[in-house]
């Protein structure tokens, strides 16, 4: 049975409501006419989506709070108030972390074990009587 995204979303919402009310997955499955596995998937998907939406809303609220604090400090920081400038920088650093604006740290990797790997491979191949490539 193929269901539309809207129907699936509605089923997931119902599954989550039933689970929050204390229903077991088997009971949810019976009510919704799906397998127990599908009931479990529906509940976990709905929870994941709800948590993502709530986290996004909280991130937005936190950003608005930081913006308000920065607006209050900015004129003093620009006027030369060192404490206000330091506080403003800390707020901007927090905003950067909150919204993922900082560039990721660059990592360099090197392959140092290739010779050792090839030697070990040849040793094992010899024990097995095979020709190494």
Does residue 45 contact residue 5 with C-beta atoms inside 8 Å? no
Between 14 and 132, the higher pLDDT residue: 14
Structure token digits, residue 44? 């976990």
Token look-up 């290739």 returns 114
Query: What pTM, to 2 d.p., does this model score?
Result: 0.54
The residue among 20 and 108 whose pLDDT is bigger is 20
pLDDT digits (tens, 9 = 90+) for 24-60: 999 999 999 999 999 999 999 998 888 888 888 989 9
pLDDT tens digits, residue range 3-13? 788 999 999 99
Q: What is the DSSP letter of 131?
A: -
**Separation CA 115–CA 112 (nearest Å):** 8
């Amino acid at each position: 049975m193929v269901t539309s995204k809207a129907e699936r979303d509605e089923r997931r919402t119902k599954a989550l409501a039933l689970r929050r009310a204390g229903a077991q997955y088997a009971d949810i499955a019976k009510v919704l006419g799906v397998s127990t596995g599908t009931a479990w998937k529906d509940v976990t998907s709905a929870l994941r989506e709800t948590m993502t939406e709530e986290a996004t809303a909280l991130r937005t609220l936190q950003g608005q709070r930081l913006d308000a604090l920065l607006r209050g400090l900015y004129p003093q920081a620009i006027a030369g108030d060192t404490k206000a400038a330091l506080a403003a920088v800390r707020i901007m650093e927090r905003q950067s972390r909150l919204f993922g604006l900082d560039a990721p740290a660059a990592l360099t990797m090197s392959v140092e074990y290739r010779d050792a790997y090839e030697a070990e491979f040849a040793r094992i191949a010899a024990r097995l009587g095979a020709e190494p490539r």
